[in-house]
Structure 1
Amino acid sequence: MNEEKTKAIQALKTTKGQIEGIIKMIEDGRYCVDVSNQIVAAQSLLKKANLLILKQHLNHCVKEAFINDSGEEKVDEIIGILQKIMDK
């Protein structure tokens, strides 16, 4: 497994723990702003994981596709992901 995937998995595992903590915070009736701050932190880690996965995709899959003259499709895939990210 390459470095980007390893880091992405770690970020996702950390996010999983944060989400479990957020659920407990809500169940315990914790202050809403504190809960919201934890949600923002979890979202940040998800974005980091997504960027790491996209970096891995660009460095490996897209590069290989261009070598094999099929890069246009991979570029379109990346554009589709970027459009989803920007629509938020």
Structure 2
Amino acid sequence: MDCCMNEDKKRALQALKTSKGQIDGIIKMIQDGRYCIDISNQIIAAQAVLKRANLMILRQHLDNCVKDAFLNNKGEEKVDEIMSLLKKLLD
């Protein structure tokens, strides 16, 4: 398991912090009784940031963990992990 903080993880962390700020703002919008469409647009924006963060993390996983597993003839387990994740994304 890779514990280092590479550039993909740094960017993902920043994206997650941005998303956290967006979610806090969305909560305030709801509490303030803001217009539903405006709230929904902000939720969509937060979801987009979360998707980008997830892609960065997955990129890091493929570039490091999966590549290393294949180099050490242990790739089948990583393929199963990725397939399981893809199933969740597609459901």
TM-score range, shorter chain: over 0.9
- The TM-score, its normalising length taken from structure 1, stands at 0.97
Distance, in Å, in 1 between the alignment partners of 2:79 and 2:52 is 20
Instruction: Please provide the CA RMSD for this pair.
Output: 0.5
The residue that corresponds to 1:3 in the other structure is 7
Distance, in Å, in 2 between the alignment partners of 1:14 and 1:78 is 26
Of residues 16, 19, 22, the one that matches 2:20 is: 16
Distance, in Å, in 2 between the alignment partners of 1:83 and 1:46 is 18
Distance, in Å, in 1 between the alignment partners of 2:10 and 2:60 is 10
The residue that corresponds to 1:47 in the other structure is 51
Identity percentage of aligned residues:
69
Distance, in Å, in 2 between the alignment partners of 1:60 and 1:5 is 12
- The TM-score, its normalising length taken from structure 2, stands at 0.94
Runs of 4+ in 1 over 2 A off after TM superposition: none
Offset of residue 66 of structure 1: 0.5
Distance, in Å, in 2 between the alignment partners of 1:75 and 1:39 is 32
The residue that corresponds to 1:34 in the other structure is 38
- Matched pairs, number: 87
Offset of residue 42 of structure 1: 0.4
Letter of the 2:22 counterpart: Q
1:59 equivalent in alignment to 2:63: yes
Q: For 1:64-79, list aligned pairs within 5 A.
A: 64-79=68-83
Structure 1 segments unaligned to the other structure (5+ residues)? none
Distance, in Å, in 1 between the alignment partners of 2:85 and 2:42 is 25
